[in-house]
């Protein structure tokens, strides 16, 4: 079973970007950690980052076409990208799991971060646990799959 971990804009700057909010570890550290957590759970994790909306939309189409589950941190796109929402909706409507994740808890932050256009089409959302948000999301996918079978 494959899981695509898709990270949106500015997440390639982890470690440099506002470390008081996002921590000192880098995106490369996250990619390595996610692959390890997947391996522990018997899942193949492919983690990617882009600042480009069209690229992340294409990766969501790829998830549908290749039957991969998705962990999605849409970053700032969370709050305004209907294109991302529509692409995410195709993932869950095709019977795949899509877990929305955030490193920070957006509800404790500026009001523009309180609304997610993606949440309404996600299987579930995990926010506020740093890199552990991703670990919990990967576990949720592993457990969700075992509940189905």
Q: Binding site, residues?
A: 73, 79, 86, 103-104, 113
| Residue 105 DSSP class | -
Name which of 52 and 65 has its Cβ closer to ligand DQA: 52
DSSP state of 78: G
Catalytic residue among 22, 27, 69, 134: 22
| Interface with ligand DQA (CB under 6 A) | 10, 73, 75-76, 78, 102-104, 106, 113
Q: 58 or 115, CB closer to ligand DQA?
A: 115
| CB-based contact 30:14 (threshold 8 Å) | yes
- The answer to whether 102 is a known catalytic residue is yes
Residue closer to ligand DQA, measured from CB, 43 or 101: 101
Out of 27, 69, 102, 134, pick the active-site residue. 102
β-pairing verdict for 124-127 and 69-73? unpaired
Residue 78: CB minimum distance to ligand DQA, A: 6
131 CB neighbour count, 10 Å cutoff: 18
Q: Which residues are annotated as a binding site for substrate?
A: 73, 79, 86, 103-104, 113
Q: How many helices (H) and strands (E) does the chain have?
A: 5, 5
Spell out the residues 6+ positions from residue 18 whose beta carbon is closer than 8 angstroms to its own.
Answer: none
Q: Is position 134 annotated as part of the catalytic site? A: no
Q: Which is nearer to ligand DQA, 61 or 107 (CB)?
A: 107
122 phi/psi in degrees, rounded to 5: -85, 155
Structure tokens at 76: 């700032």
- Return the active site residues: 22, 102
């Amino acid at each position: 079973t494959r899981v695509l971990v898709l990270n949106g804009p500015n997440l390639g700057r982890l470690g440099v970007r506002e470390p008081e909010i996002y921590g000192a570890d880098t995106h490369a550290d996250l990619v390595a950690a996610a692959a390890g957590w997947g391996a522990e759970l018997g899942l193949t994790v492919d983690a990617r980052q882009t600042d480009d909306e069209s690229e992340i939309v294409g990766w969501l189409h790829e998830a549908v076409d290749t039957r991969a589950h998705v962990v999605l941190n849409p970053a700032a796109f969370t709050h305004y990208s209907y294109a991302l929402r529509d692409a995410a909706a195709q993932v869950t409507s095709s019977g795949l799991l899509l877990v929305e994740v955030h490193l920070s808890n957006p509800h404790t932050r500026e009001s523009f971060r309180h609304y997610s256009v993606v949440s309404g089409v996600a299987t579930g959302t995990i926010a506020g646990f740093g890199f552990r948000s991703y670990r919990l999301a990967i576990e949720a996918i592993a457990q969700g799959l075992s509940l189905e079978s």
